[in-house]
């Protein structure tokens, strides 16, 4: 989060230097690849509850293409064939990523001396309204007598220590969760094709782009209290918001945050991390709302919102940003929570503002 925010802020402040903007863009892209890889590792190490919604398989493939190429190694060529329509299914991005990685690792292991893997996704024609995700490799193939066993948990043909036997069974479990089906075609010495077929859904309704002028005029009269114990994240978010015209008061923990809130009753928004030393973000919000009952609250955390709701730290529907997030997402969230509270052309005190 700190690296992303710093690179984004630096790019904004250095618009006069194309070379610097390009370099900071590369830093941001590298951080995004690290985010994708870390989330994949975490998905294998802990169970997680996913909120399902319209998800573009094509967008997930595009987003992870660089990381997938690195996963396969230099001796294996990855070719991606993209859908024109986006190929939307009712899923979660993390589940699609996990299926992709497991299928590609399985295909990679079938290519002992290099080769090619082709990933394609498209909307199937016909009344059934279905989407196809296909992974085809030029590897050793699967003998006919083993094809009925490949989705069984812990079944593997690899030598000890080379595989868990859970990759394809995990794929099968996710496909069934998403009301899909799997077809397998293979020939020894000629490669294998996995076809994952899902019910198609409509793409999400487009979100209205935030109005730059309205947001800027709102920013001139908004004061935020930012509570974040990680210095790099705190400094980068504060500098970005100040660059957008907001007044930002920052605190590195609950005790300082309460002190700042008591001394500044004009604070409009509390932006707080959920996990703080000795005090939860929800507890801090309740403490400050006793003193400032009209304050708006936005929570942020690296934990999935479903986990926080399950732990009763977050209520469903609470304004929430899942770290690491793009700073533009924060601006959109601020606009959302402030719109009902700050009428156009009027400040909280009722005084007119410049527009």
Give 3-state DSSP helix, strand, coil % of the chain, rounded to 5. Answer: 40, 20, 35
- Torsion on CA atoms 218, 220, 222, 224, rounded to nearest 10: 120
Q: Half-sphere exposure of 97 toward its Cβ, with a 13 Å CA cutoff?
A: 25
How confident is the model over 3-57, as pLDDT tens digits? 888 888 888 788 778 888 888 888 888 887 777 667 656 655 554 555 688 999 9
* 117 in Cβ contact with 136 (< 8 Å): yes
* Amino acid 125: pLDDT: 86
Nearest CA to 224 out of 286, 181, 265, 269 is that of 269
- Higher-confidence residue: 11 or 58? 58
Band (pLDDT 50/70/90 cuts) for residue 213 is very low
If you average pLDDT over each of 23-37, 50-64, 144-158, 169-183, which comes out highest? 169-183
Q: State residue 9's pLDDT score.
A: 81
pLDDT score, position 148: 77
Contact residues for 70 (Cβ-Cβ < 8 A; gap 6+): 33
pLDDT at 249: 96
- Can you tell me the distance from the alpha carbon of 277 to that of 134, in angstroms, rounded to the nearest whole number? 46
Q: Residue 131 — left, alpha, or beta (φ > 0 → left; ψ -120 to 50 → alpha)?
A: beta
Give the tens place of pLDDT for each residue, 292-334: 999 999 999 988 788 888 888 888 889 999 888 888 889 999 9
Task: Catalogue the long-range contacts made by 229-238 (C-beta closer than 8 Å, 24 or more residues apart).
Answer: 229/253, 229/273, 229/276, 229/277, 230/1, 230/2, 230/273, 232/2, 232/3, 232/5, 232/6, 233/1, 233/2, 233/5, 233/323, 236/2, 236/5, 236/6, 236/9, 237/5, 237/271, 237/327, 237/330
Common-topology check for domains 49-199 and 212-338: no
Residues 214, 80: Cα–Cα separation, whole Å: 41
Whole-number Å distance between alpha carbons of 298 and 241:
14
What would the DSSP string read from start to end of 63-93? HHHHHHHHHH-TTEEEEEE--SS--EEEE-H
- The mean-pLDDT minimum among 103-112, 287-296, 336-345 falls in 336-345
Q: Give the pLDDT of residue 217.
A: 44
Lowest mean pLDDT among 101-105, 198-202, 341-345: 341-345
Residue 156: per-residue pLDDT: 66
pLDDT in tens, 97-150: 889 988 998 888 888 778 899 999 999 988 789 999 999 998 888 888 787 777
DSSP states along 262-287:
HH-TT--EEEEESEETTEEHHHHHHH
Superfamily of segment(s) 212-338: Response regulator (3.40.50.2300)
Domain ranges of the chain: 49-199, 212-338
Q: What is the pLDDT of residues 246-276, one digit of tens each?
A: 999 999 999 999 999 999 999 999 999 998 8
What is the structure's pLDDT at 292?
A: 94
Q: Which helix (H) or strand (E) holds 136?
A: strand 130-137
Residues pairing with 194 in the sheet: 135, 184
> What is 49-199's CATH number, 2.30.38.10, 2.30.110.10, 3.30.565.10, 3.40.190.10?
3.30.565.10
Looking at residue 40, its pLDDT comes to: 58
6, 232 in Cβ contact below 8 A? yes
What length is written for the chain? 355
Any idea which of 16-25, 57-66, 149-158, 210-219 has the lowest mean pLDDT?
A: 210-219
């Amino acid at each position: 989060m700190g690296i992303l925010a710093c690179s984004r802020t630096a790019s904004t402040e250095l618009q006069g230097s194309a070379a610097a903007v390009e370099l900071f863009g590369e830093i941001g892209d590298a951080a995004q690849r690290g985010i994708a890889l870390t989330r994949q590792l975490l998905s294998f190490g802990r169970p997680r509850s996913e909120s399902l919604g319209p998800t573009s398989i094509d967008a997930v493939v595009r987003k992870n293409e660089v990381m997938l190429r690195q996963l396969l190694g230099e001796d294996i060529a990855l070719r991606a064939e993209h859908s024109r329509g986006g190929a939307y299914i009712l899923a979660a991005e993390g589940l699609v990523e996990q299926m992709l990685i497991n299928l590609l690792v399985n295909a990679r292991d079938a290519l002992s001396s290099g080769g090619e893997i082709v990933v394609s996704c498209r909307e199937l024609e016909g009344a059934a309204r279905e989407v196809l995700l296909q992974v085809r490799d030029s590897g050793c193939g699967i003998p006919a007598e083993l094809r009925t066993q490949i989705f069984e948990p812990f079944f593997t043909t690899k030598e000890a220590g080379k595989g868990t036997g859970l990759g394809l069974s995990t794929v099968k479990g996710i496909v069934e969760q998403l009301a899909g089906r799997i077809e397998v075609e293979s020939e020894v010495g000629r490669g294998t094709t996995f076809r994952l077929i899902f019910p198609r859904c409509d793409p999400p309704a487009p979100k209205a782009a935030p109005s730059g002028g309205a947001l800027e005029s709102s920013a001139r009269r908004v004061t935020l209290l930012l509570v974040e114990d990680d210095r790099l994240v705190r400094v980068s978010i504060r500098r970005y918001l100040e660059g957008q015209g907001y007044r930002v008061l920052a605190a590195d923990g609950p005790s300082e945050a309460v002190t700042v809130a008591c001394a500044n009753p004009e604070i409009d928004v509390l932006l707080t991390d959920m996990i703080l030393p000795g005090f939860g973000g929800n507890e801090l919000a309740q403490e400050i709302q006793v003193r400032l009952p009209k304050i708006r609250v936005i929570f942020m955390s690296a934990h999935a919102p479903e986990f926080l709701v399950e732990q009763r730290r977050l209520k469903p529907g609470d304004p929430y940003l899942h770290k690491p997030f793009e700073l533009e997402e924060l601006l959109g969230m601020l606009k959302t929570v402030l719109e009902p509270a700050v009428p156009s052309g009027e400040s909280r005190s009722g005084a007119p503002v410049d527009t």
